[in-house]
């Protein structure tokens, strides 16, 4: 079975407002100034714990593992309560998902967001039923760029690496796909401080309307 596996934050959905909002909730409790949403591109992409670490690093504050674990609980609770206050699907996402479903593609999500939060967000955005499998950072106990989450997601939707394509927005997704032996299409509107054109994906697109032609160039039949 042909499969498309999507990253979530910065690929399917614009989620920076709510993620940075949850970060700022945690930082405020530690007396750290709020991070502007404009800084999201260099902070997001590796999950909530990494986001908190980067927020502390930005403020030149030390953070122990024990403190990080405690703050992550607060972060996750706040985030899940506000998960779709400002988040939305990128233009063309739903039409693209409909297109590939009609063509018989299996669809999955492989993200560094926690699995429960991923399901919750996709439900709030109205597309949870479009995906045969959703993999979060905690699903298999390891996060991208380790290839295992992607490989297991591909297997869960009934496909193989050579018959699948990863769609993501960052160096994390590109490294993951390369390690898994899977082609990768990158969107250029997500969360990366280095332009994806410099990171070596197979194809770069600027709108989901371009995804069908990009996929056809990789999988002609």
Beta strands in the chain, from DSSP E residues, in sequence order: 3-6, 13-14, 88-89, 106-110, 133-135, 164-168, 184-187, 203-205
Q: How many CB atoms lie within 10 A of CB 162?
A: 9
Structure-token match 């390369």, residue found: 178
If residue 93 lies in a helix (H) or strand (E), which one and from where to where? helix 93-102
What's the pLDDT score for residue 43? Answer: 81
Q: 27-72: per-residue pLDDT in tens? A: 999 999 898 888 877 787 777 888 899 999 888 898 899 999 999 9
Statement to judge: residues 24 and 40 lie in one domain: yes
User: How many Å apart are CA 11 and CA 111, to the nearest integer?
Assistant: 10
- What is the extent of the structural domain holding 67? 16-81
Q: Which residues of the chain have pLDDT under 70?
A: 221
Cα separations (Å) of 34 from 37, 74, 134? 9, 16, 31
pLDDT value of residue 58 = 87
Total domains, the chain? 2
Amino acid 221: pLDDT: 64
CATH code for the domain of 40 = 1.10.150
* pLDDT at position 95: 98
User: The domain spanning residue 182 has which CATH number?
Assistant: 3.40.50.1000
Tell me how far the alpha carbon of residue 43 is from its chain's centroid. 13
One domain, residues 25 and 74: yes
Query: One of 7, 9, 169, 173 is an active-site residue; which one?
Result: 7
User: Are residues 110 and 168 part of one domain?
Assistant: yes
pTM for the whole structure: 0.92
Give me the DSSP letters along 123-169: HHTT-GGG-SEEE-TTTSS--TTSSHHHHHHHHHTT--GGGEEEEES
**Residue among 84, 77, 26, 81 at smallest CA distance from 55:** 26
Same domain, 189 and 160: yes
Are both 148 and 209 inside the same structural domain? yes
193 is catalytic: no
Q: Are 104 and 38 in a shared domain?
A: no
């Amino acid at each position: 079975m042909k499969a498309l596996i999507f990253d979530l934050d910065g690929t399917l959905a614009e989620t920076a407002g709510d993620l940075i909002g949850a970060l700022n909730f945690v930082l405020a409790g530690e007396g750290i100034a709020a991070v502007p949403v404009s800084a999201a591109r260099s902070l997001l992409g590796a999950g909530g714990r990494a986001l908190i670490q980067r927020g502390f690093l930005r403020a030149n504050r030390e953070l122990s593992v024990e403190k990080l674990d405690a703050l992550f609980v607060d972060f996750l609770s706040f985030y899940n309560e506000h998960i779709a206050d400002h988040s939305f699907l990128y233009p063309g996402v739903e039409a693209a998902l409909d297109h590939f479903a009609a063509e018989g593609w299996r669809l999955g999500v492989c993200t560094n967001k926690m699995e429960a939060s991923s399901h919750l967000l996709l439900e709030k955005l109205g597309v949870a039923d479009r995906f045969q499998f959703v993999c979060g950072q905690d699903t298999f106990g390891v996060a991208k760029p380790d290839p295992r989450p992607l490989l297991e997601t591909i297997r869960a939707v009934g496909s193989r690496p050579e018959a699948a394509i990863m769609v993501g927005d960052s160096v994390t997704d590109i490294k993951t796909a390369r390690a898994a032996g899977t082609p990768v299409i990158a969107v250029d509107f997500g969360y990366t401080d280095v332009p994806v054109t410099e990171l070596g994906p197979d194809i770069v697109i600027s709108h989901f309307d371009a995804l069908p032609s990009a996929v056809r160039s990789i999988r002609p039949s």
